[in-house]
Structure 1
Amino acid sequence: MSSTTKPTIVLVHGAWHGSWCWRFQIPTLEALGYVVEAVDLPCVSGVAGITQFDDAAHVRSVVEAQISMGKRVVVLAHSYGGPIASAAIKGLADKGVLGMVALCAYIFPGGMDQGAAIRDIGGLPYVTWDVPSEGLFLANDPRSLFFPPDAPADRTDWAVPQLRPQSMAANTGIVPPQAWQDDSYTGRLGYIKCTADVVLPIAQQDGMVAGAGGQEKWVIRTLEGSGHSPFLSRPHEVAAAFQEIVNEFEAKL
């Protein structure tokens, strides 16, 4: 049975970003009646050595604080934030977490060695390691990577200077245990695909979703022609897709 009270949304940003990136997304979600909490992950604090486990623990503390106040929670996670959010909600499916929605986000299995996977593909050509200092890294050309083809120029100009160095350990370490691999979240997982994404091409998005259970496990929506930053380019479409997914979560209760 669904609840008449909308869940609180916890927003989890991707690599190099921060809670600031949701500036245009938050009002569209609030207009639909949601309460929104946006986190800042430790991995972009400028401290080398921060891992996915650290980021997941931080998100979990925010989720558990909401649950302790009697709130139900849905986590909306972008890009790198996918595995972080999935780790953060593990074991909380019957304790107040309604589900998770991944926004053009990575889906990785728990225990995966990301460093080994990166080495196997010959590295990441779009990043510079150990810059601006040892243990941190940056995207080489974020303007061409994160925002084409549909982010408005003025919003891109606003976003680029706010990107921050990322802890290398967060992207080259072990993936924490993942909630999406638990049967308890089947049907309470959502994925919003972006067909013109440069960072995470649509074929990779499709492959990850298929490998993680496909439509049997995930509620899927697609933003045609959207790049990697739909929270800047298409916040109203993201909000509409999110609400459709959450309504399907609710119908399964």
Structure 2
Amino acid sequence: MSSTTKPTIVLVHGAWHGSWCWRFQIPAIEALGYAVETVDLPCVRGLAGTTQLDDAAHVRSVVESQISMGKRVVVLAHSYGGPIASAAITGLSGKGVLGMIALCAYVFPGGMDQGAVIRDLGGLPYVTWDVPSEGLFLTKDPRSLFFPPDVPEDRIDWAIPQLRPQSMAANMGIVPPQAWQDDSYIGRLGYIRCTADVVNPIAQQDSMVTGAGGKEKWVIRTLEGSGHSPFLSRPHEVAATLQDIVNDFEAKL
């Protein structure tokens, strides 16, 4: 039986970003009757050595705060935030967390050595390591990476100065235990595909979701022609898709 009270949406940003990136997304979600909470992950505070465990613990504290107030929660996570959000909600199915939605996000198994994978690939060609200081890193050309093909130029100009250095340890470490691997979340996992994503190409998105159980586990929706930042380019479409997925979650209760 579904509740008549809509869940709170907790927004988890990706690498180099912050809660600022949801500026246009928040009102679109609130217009549909949802309350929204945001986080600012420790990995973008300029502290070398910050890990995924630190980020997941911070998100979990926000989620548990909402649950303690009697609210139900759906986590919407972008990009790097996918494994962070999934780690944060482990053990909370049936205890206040309705589900998780990944927005062109990474889906990794718990225990994966992310650093080893990156080293096997020969590194990440679109980043500069140990910049602006040891243990932090930046993207070389965020304008051509995060925003094509559909973010308006004025929003790109607004966003780029707000990007922050990312902790290398957060991306090169071990992925924490993941809630999506818990059968209690089957049917209450959502994935929003973005077909023109440069950072996380659509073939890679599909491969990760397929490897994580595919349609048997995930409610999958698609934003055709969207790049990596649909919260800037088409926030109303993201909000409508989120609502569609949440309704699907509710129907399974």
TM-score, structure 1 length as denominator?
Answer: 1.00
CA distance in 2, matches of 1:135, 1:218: 35
The corresponding residue for 1:153 is 153
Structure 1 runs (4+) greater than 4 angstroms displaced: none
The corresponding residue for 2:249 is 249
Q: RMSD of the alignment, in Å?
A: 0.3
CA distance in 1, matches of 2:135, 2:119: 17
**3-state SS, counterpart of residue 118 of structure 1:** helix
Residue 61 (str. 1) matches residue 61 (str. 2): yes
The corresponding residue for 2:80 is 80
Residue 210 (str. 1) matches residue 210 (str. 2): yes
Gaps of 5+ in 1: none
The corresponding residue for 1:6 is 6
CA distance in 1, matches of 2:248, 2:130: 43
TM-score, structure 2 length as denominator?
Answer: 1.00
CA distance in 2, matches of 1:23, 1:134: 31
Instruction: Return the offset for 1:55.
Output: 0.1
The code of the aligned residue for 2:14 comes to G
CA distance in 1, matches of 2:106, 2:209: 9
CA distance in 1, matches of 2:82, 2:228: 13
**3-state SS, counterpart of residue 49 of structure 2:** coil
Instruction: Return the offset for 1:91.
Output: 0.2
The corresponding residue for 1:105 is 105
CA distance in 2, matches of 1:51, 1:94: 27
The code of the aligned residue for 2:222 comes to T
Per-residue deviation, residues 102-143 of structure 1 (Å, max 9, x unmatched):
000000000000000001111100000000000000000000
The code of the aligned residue for 1:207 comes to S
CA distance in 2, matches of 1:96, 1:243: 18
CA distance in 2, matches of 1:7, 1:175: 27
Per-residue deviation, residues 11-58 of structure 1 (Å, max 9, x unmatched):
000000000000000000000000000100000000000000000000
Gaps of 5+ in 2: none
The corresponding residue for 1:231 is 231
- What's the % identity of the aligned pairs? 87
Residue 137 (str. 1) matches residue 137 (str. 2): yes
Instruction: Return the offset for 1:144.
Output: 0.4
**3-state SS, counterpart of residue 102 of structure 2:** strand
Spell out the pairing of 1:187-206 with structure 2 (5 A cutoff): 187-206=187-206
The corresponding residue for 1:176 is 176
Report the count of equivalent residues.
Answer: 253
CA distance in 2, matches of 1:193, 1:234: 13
**3-state SS, counterpart of residue 5 of structure 2:** coil
The code of the aligned residue for 1:2 comes to S
CA distance in 2, matches of 1:46, 1:159: 18
CA distance in 2, matches of 1:208, 1:167: 24
Instruction: Return the offset for 1:247.
Output: 0.2
CA distance in 1, matches of 2:123, 2:47: 22
Spell out the pairing of 1:25-44 with structure 2 (5 A cutoff): 25-44=25-44
The corresponding residue for 1:114 is 114
Instruction: Return the offset for 1:94.
Output: 1.2
The corresponding residue for 1:24 is 24
**3-state SS, counterpart of residue 237 of structure 2:** helix
**3-state SS, counterpart of residue 9 of structure 1:** strand
